[in-house]
Chain A
């Protein structure tokens, strides 16, 4: 993931974000009776962000940043600067995408189906065997359901199990 570690690119990103914020802020019109409208503060932020981004992008050390000063890793841990394996990149992708997928399927499938499946998949890509992964998914779902829905009364989506909601509410 070395391609992610490029300070100049982040500097350029901040310049663009600053310019977008500035452009959007200039389009904001406040009430006539107010001398200082809603665009004043964000437009100042946009200008400052673009300038600071420019400084970072142009600075001499704006290539890949130094390796972070993490505590000494365990003997079996990969060196922090080494390229991760394909499995690790796949695991990273699954962990990164999982919340987006969860947000999409949660209202459709419901909490009690979406959560154990997702956690089991995450556990499997993390290296757990499938029985452990399935057990992790089921146990953690029951725990989360108990804490949030049964105790805290948070209305978690039932989805496909809507008609069984009465049976599945156990407290």
Chain B
């Protein structure tokens, strides 16, 4: 058994650990509030924008409407935007999104390149010897649209120049404080899913033809890149909310565990202390008894 002194030190260190995790929990709690608010605020806009894109994608002859809607016959290279956190201590948040990504793209025979948002994702991918072509990190919380626009420009130009033939987004979708799910979504070229489920579902099967005002090309050039960018932005916001929520929960669990441990150790320490006092007393009593005996 550890000595009393060692136990006292251990209790002290765990107590200070609990203090740190409690502080981190409080910080995350305020961050998560901001992130969730930002995520909720622009969510309806980006979802509606996505719907408009889908309605465009199911127009007859959509392949010729705009180069970003154009499905390529041969898929040679794939680009993935992986959104993770800059820091750890967020439970399994970073690992989950990475594992999901690697598993998803394992089934593809084509080479896959990655753009990382967040340092953790980059580090983990590099360890797996994946091909990371760009990295964006230290975004504000919540991120603003201007911070994201270099990513948007990069991927859209790259797609138009045929650097890659498909673009995917891999991120964590925020539902509630305790429920977040990792997700891989194909962003370019647009694909319509008539099953009525998931992100790419549309409710009507009809493919009514749009009239464009003022001019088809001008309008599509304007809105398709912008609405696509909106999806990337929204997934960053959603991931940020998820990250802070995950960190808050992880830290609150850690604080709880630490407190529990302190309780157990304290009990043991008290026992040990009592034991040593008893021993001392026995020594004195024994000594005294011996003395009276020999004095007789």
Are A and B associated in one complex?
no
Residues on B lying within 8 angstroms of A by beta carbon are: none
